[in-house]
Amino acid sequence: MQAVLGVLVAAVLFAMMALTCVDVVGRYLLTRPVPGALEIIEILVAATVFLALPLVTLREEHVTADVFDALTPDWVLRIQHTVACLLSAGVCLVLAWRLALRALRMLDYGDTTAVLKITLYPLAFTMSAMMALAGAILLVLAFRPPVRRLPRN
């Protein structure tokens, strides 16, 4: 799973970089920008964020404030870790549910981008699935021992 998501994120980032380069060259050297480049880049940014979310969660690489890790007793760290993971999982799963409802509404209404008329519901369903996956990962992590970022003295 990590490898597949990693390759997908890398491919989306590469596509975004390539499109930006072609658009800039076309815009400033040839006076012919790529039509709809902004729309495509907006979609690629959303895809990058949501495809990377389960990877960041699985590797426990979210931004954390570990200032008091060295002072916190093991039992408190364990409780803190479990509560944070369960709360975060709940938030992720609620957001996944809401994104799925939004995707269904987009499908129903036939929502598309303004210029290129790209159908939006597949992106919304992907965002929902990645959010649900991150929530599931957090549920598993809640029952694993926490990682102490700063060693105790």
Q: Which H or E run includes 45?
A: helix 37-58
Any residues with CB less than 8 A from the CB of 141 and at least 6 apart, and which? 57, 60, 85
Q: Which H or E run includes 61?
A: none
**What's the predicted TM-score (pTM) here?**
0.88
- Domain residue ranges of the chain, discontinuous segments joined by +: 2-142
Q: pLDDT tens per residue, the chain (153 residues)? A: 889 999 999 999 999 999 999 999 999 999 999 999 999 999 999 999 999 999 999 998 888 777 777 788 889 889 999 999 999 999 999 999 999 999 999 999 999 999 999 999 999 999 999 999 999 999 999 999 887 776 665
